[in-house]
Amino acid sequence: MPLPPRIIPWTSNEEYELVYGWLYAEAPDLHLRELGVKRVKAWRSRGRVPQAVEATAGFVEVSLRDYFEAGRISSHELRLMYTMIFIRFVNGLVDAEQNKQFAQSVAGLADRLNLPPWFVDLRHAGTHENLPSLQTLRTGCQQALQWLNDNYWSVKTTYPDCISEVREQLSTYKDLGKQFAKDPKRTMNPTAENSPSQKALREIVSLNDPETLKLMLIPVLLENGFLVPAGKKKRSSLPELNLSQDLLALWAPLLQKFDGTWKSFGDDLIAGILDQFDYDETTIKNISVGVLPQEESTKRPNRSTSYLLTLTAWLKHFVKNYYTKEDVLLSNMQMDDLLEGCLRKPTVYTRSVLLTIVEYDPELGKRLSPFIKFITKSLTNKSSIKSFKELPTITESDMQQEIHTLKSRVIKVFGESGSSPDPEGQEEEDQAVDMDVDSNEADDDLEMSSKWQLYDADSWTSCPFGTLPGGVIPSLDLPLELDGPSSPIR
């Protein structure tokens, strides 16, 4: 399955590595640190920036203020700034770990993240007690930057390598699960902490974080051979659209593990599944007679009918878990998000999920009934066009004639000077319009050709959105003079 597009604020891995080098530049190259801070600010305007990058830029920016000439900033101001970035740093990390029904202590979550305990004490003192001393805050800032370097920047590997590792560990987990299912003695419990299956799961967890779920883990889970079996006979089929017990037994522990580790996993997984549903021409043609095809698509094997039916069965199973509370796989799933996703992407598959919701929640079904009827009618109407080849062809002469007619109507309504035309002189005006249009056709064509030109296909190369002419990628960094105090004095 091709990987989904990555929406990231940096234009390339090279820019990412460059900013890392700027942020951690040694003295006396302090101006490089400031360049790194300003580039992170530019990233914020492009999209979401990882929490670790935000915290690094914050600590670097505050530490740079220590180098300003005495008198430009007071010690109390420095203490306030250091304290605020520490509070945001600790809160930003531990909040992502709050994935239980009841809130956990900050100290317990920080221990899980291997944060030094005194980071939490510093945050607590800055929030509820007297401000820590400036020397303590300076020391904490340096240790926080070192912790971020050791736990984020230095261990950040390239995206393709992480994808391969995630795929390898998921394959290991799957193979171990199949071996356990075939073992008549069942000598090893796959859910035990020291079991090979749990070790594989812990390895997958170490390779991912809440910010990479949509980019790495979920796309691999939705590849053929994982949540959707590679063998077509093991996939879900009509009319029941149920998941086999073997498939549930294999993947239920993994889904529960990930759901307990990342609060956003359930919603991200559902969003990833919904992204696989798009227009299926063969299916739409048959829905009008109540038949879904069983044959596989030869053009897109990763989105064949059986593949999409199996994903539909997973969604129906999640809905069933949500309402019955039996063997819940995604405890943090938001039903409103699933409903919105199904309504925004009306297909025969999402309609089946909506009907399942109606089955378990009749009261909600009354409000959904008009939408389901509209989706059914819309899908049925699409079946009237069997292929795009049957659509009428519009030639260039047809377009010119249409433009000529529209211009004539405009002049007839408003006249050359903006007033209504004289009915008695209508025939002469029509002739004048014809002459005017004919005389200006060449000028119009010349004017249009000077503004819009068809790009030469041989010289076309792909480029990021927003690229300037000549292939130049713009920098959104603010000039130093427009972003507060500029380069350090000392």
Half-sphere exposure of 204 (CA within 13 A, CB side): 27
- For the record, the structure tokens of 292 come out as 């879904």
Q: Is the pLDDT of residue 66 over 70?
A: yes
Average pLDDT for the chain:
76
Instruction: Give the residue among 141, 103, 108, 104 at the shortest CA–CA distance from 122.
Output: 141
At 392, is the pLDDT very low, low, confident or very high (cuts 50, 70, 90)? Answer: low
Enter the DSSP assignment of 420: P
Q: Answer with the residue of higher pLDDT: 63 or 13.
A: 63
At 300, is the pLDDT very low, low, confident or very high (cuts 50, 70, 90)? Answer: very low
pLDDT at 456: 74
- For the record, the structure tokens of 229 come out as 């079996």
Residue 50: Cβ-neighbour burial (10 angstroms; 0-12, 13-18, 19+): middle
pLDDT at 258: 92
Structure confidence by residue, pLDDT tens digits, 103-133: 667 777 777 777 888 888 888 888 888 888 8
Q: Is the pLDDT of residue 489 over 90?
A: no
| Amino acid type, 6 | R
At 145, is the pLDDT very low, low, confident or very high (cuts 50, 70, 90)? Answer: very high
DSSP 448-461: HHHH--PPPGGG--
- For the record, the structure tokens of 480 come out as 């130093």
DSSP 39-108: HHHHHHHHS---HHHHHHHHHHHHHHGGGSPTTSS-HHHHHHHHHHHHHHHHHHHHHTT--SSSPPPHHH
Model's pTM, two decimal places? Answer: 0.53
Q: What are the two backbone dihedrals, phi and then psi, of residue 471, each rounded to the nearest 5 degrees? A: 80, 15
Most confident of 202-206, 322-326, 379-383: 322-326
| Amino acid type, 232 | K
Structure confidence by residue, pLDDT tens digits, 23-37: 998 877 788 888 899
Provide the 10 A C-beta neighbour count for residue 417: 6
Q: What is the rounded average pLDDT of the residues 185-201?
A: 70
Q: Answer with the residue of higher pLDDT: 408 or 159.
A: 408
> For the chain, what percent of residues have pLDDT higher than 70?
71
Structure confidence by residue, pLDDT tens digits, 349-378: 999 999 999 999 999 988 899 889 888 887
Instruction: Give the residue among 112, 105, 99 at the shortest CA–CA distance from 331.
Output: 99
Provide the 10 A C-beta neighbour count for residue 60: 22
Distance of alpha carbon 341 from alpha carbon 318, whole angstroms: 14
Distance of CA 151 to the CA centre of its chain: 24
Whole-number CA gyration radius for the chain: 31
Residue 29: strand, helix, or coil: coil
Q: What are the two backbone dihedrals, phi and then psi, of residue 37, each rounded to the nearest 5 degrees? A: -60, -45
Q: Is the pLDDT of residue 241 over 70?
A: yes
Most confident of 54-63, 294-303, 377-386, 407-416: 54-63
Q: Is the pLDDT of residue 453 over 80?
A: no
Distance of alpha carbon 10 from alpha carbon 18, whole angstroms: 11
- For the record, the structure tokens of 77 come out as 């101001």
CA distances from 463 to 121, 399, 473 (A): 48, 32, 9
At 264, is the pLDDT very low, low, confident or very high (cuts 50, 70, 90)? Answer: confident
pLDDT at 212: 74
At 281, is the pLDDT very low, low, confident or very high (cuts 50, 70, 90)? Answer: very low
